[in-house]
Amino acid sequence: SRIAVFASGQGSNFAALAEAERAGLLGGGRIELLVSDKPEAPVAKRAEEAGIPSLLLRPKDFASRELYEAEIVAELKRRDIGLIVLAGYMRLITPVLLEPYGGRIINIHPSLLPAFAGKDAIGQALEYGVKLTGVTVHFVDGGMDTGPVIAQRSVVVNAGDTPESLAERIHKIEYELYPEVVRALAEGKVTLEGRQTIIRR
């Protein structure tokens, strides 16, 4: 399937997915487009280096969130994109994208949802003092880090962990887990039926 990755920041997950594709680990999944709402973000350079086309738009150049997304949907249709992979895309999604791509938009979040949704999940986990956190991949709905869970991996919090040391271990898991889930989706092994994630082997 033809994939668009949406990202706003560093793009290390974008890079991990592009690398997984090169290594043949995405099955039939092909990353055809980067979409970013932050044209100056490092992820844009990563796409350029990987030879992946990008659509870089500033939401504030549009009269509404809906018009911004309508422009994205037009480009996704032009490129026949079938799967949207959010990787550090720091915006809520409206029905303009959710309706045409229902059950075909996923997100990755650095905690065991529903714990620590929103910004700085790693900082929130340290602040709370949990001994176990992790990574969640889920289908996207209109909420922030809500939607049916597809996969989770746990990461132990060590005594003395700093935000940086914990983030490093969490990111390592993200770079493994996200390509696996994208591959399963590309192969039709994961689908959304109503609010239920269905996984076939």
Which of 88/179 has CB closer to ligand GRF? 88
Per CB under 6 A, does 37 bind ligand GRF? Answer: no
Residues pairing with 196 in the sheet: 193
Using DSSP's 3-state secondary structure scheme, residue 198 falls into strand
Using CB under 6 A, which residues numbered 145 to 174 contact ligand GRF? Answer: 174
Options 55-63, 102-110, 112-120, 124-132: segment touching ligand GRF (CB under 6 A): 102-110
Specify the pairing of strand 105-109 against strand 83-86: parallel
Asked if 25 and 107 count as a contact pair (C-beta separation under 8 A), the reply is no
Which of 32/145 has CB closer to ligand GRF? 145
CB crowding 141-171: b at 16 or more within 10 Å, else e: beeebbbbebbbeebebeeebeeeebbebbb
Options 73-81, 96-104, 108-116, 149-157: segment touching ligand GRF (CB under 6 A): 108-116
Per CB under 6 A, does 110 bind ligand GRF? Answer: yes
User: From CA 32, how far away is CA 102, in angstroms rounded?
Assistant: 19
Nearest-5° Cα angle at 22, 11 to 105? 50
Per CB under 6 A, does 7 bind ligand GRF? Answer: yes
Kindly tell me which residue out of 3, 72, 87, 137 binds ligand GRF, with binding defined by CB under 6 A.
87
| Dihedral, 94, 95, 96, 97 alpha carbons, nearest 10 | 80
Per CB under 6 A, does 109 bind ligand GRF? Answer: yes
The catalytic site residues sit at 109
Kindly tell me which residue out of 2, 10, 56, 197 binds ligand GRF, with binding defined by CB under 6 A.
10
**Chain positions contacting ligand GRF, by CB under 6 A:** 7, 9-14, 87-88, 108-110, 174
